Amino acid sequence: MLNGLRANYVEALTSSSYLGLFAFALHSRENGMGIITLGLVAIISVFAWASTYKRVRTIADIATSRIGSAAQGYVELYGRASVDADNLIKSPLSGISCIWFRYWVYTKDNSEREWRETSKGTSQSMFEIKDSTGICQVDPDDAEIISPDRRVSYQGIYKHVEEMLFAGGSVYVLGEFSTIGGANSVLSLKEDVSDLLTEWKKDQVQLKKRFDLDGNGEIDVQEWELARRTAIKEVEKQHREIRTETGVHVMRAPRDGRLYLISNMAPQKLRHRYMLWSFFHLAVLILATSAIFWL
């Protein structure tokens, strides 16, 4: 949840903190206090610049992959959200169909001047994105959702704020790509052969019918070896068939803590947005540093 909210509010918080600290420094009657305040602005701007520039470089350095040929690991995808009915959910406030939502409910009593948050929620359902080469399931848990459609409505003393991503729209995802099943299936020949032989043993009549070659009513060592080899061939055939099937592609939050971004913006536009913010934070750093030396 924290990661998801960070994308929406970090720039607003840093910008408002800049204004507040600069105002305090300008009105401070002591140069020492002004220098300390400006130093704090410089420190905040350094971390903010590093964060936004990291996003610029990450988006720029990773080429957009096609779903059907994407490598396993950290990749970026750009496709279109599926419009299939099974892919849709409804926002609990407005009932609008979408693929992802986040909402807040605020109330304001007659005696209060500010809105007070009373409830909030975020959808956890996976959704599909498609391109010309395949389909990928996207898990939004722990993702930073960037630039969703935002709607604000009022009902009496209640204020409803909704953020949504819609079916049919373009979706950018940067995260950990993996394929479940298909060629990437983790299979154990030894375990599967053992399970198959155990299953055969449960039906002694059929087992003897297949492998009691001398008809003495028992399975001797040689006949059991034949059964084992037959089981190996059958399991190997099953494994080949499993690996030729199409696997399920999934995008999730990287386990190593790297950025996990979901946006309705194209990667070039998203990179440009972070580039502008990085220039802004750098300009604040230069301004704060210059003011410190001037004081």
Residue partners of 284: CB distance under 8 A and separation at least 6:
18, 41, 45, 48
CB atoms within 10 A of CB 21: 20
Distance, CA of 241 to CA of 197 (rounded, Å): 20
Per DSSP, 202 falls in state T
Provide the residue type at 268 as one letter.
Answer: Q
DSSP string for residues in 116-148: EEEEEEE----EEEEETTEEEEE--TT-EEES-
Find, among 171, 173, 161, the residue nearest to 121 by Cα: 161
Provide the residue type at 75 as one letter.
Answer: V
Distance, CA of 283 to CA of 52 (rounded, Å): 13
What's the pLDDT score for residue 23? 59
Residues of the chain with pLDDT under 70: 1-34, 110-112, 182-185, 242, 244-246, 295
What's the pLDDT score for residue 285? 83
What's the pLDDT score for residue 30? 58
Give the start-to-end residue ranges of the domains of the chain: 2-181+247-294, 184-244
Find, among 200, 106, 228, 117, the residue nearest to 157 by Cα: 106
Tokens read off for 38: 């400006």
What's the pLDDT score for residue 6? 47
pTM over 0.75: no
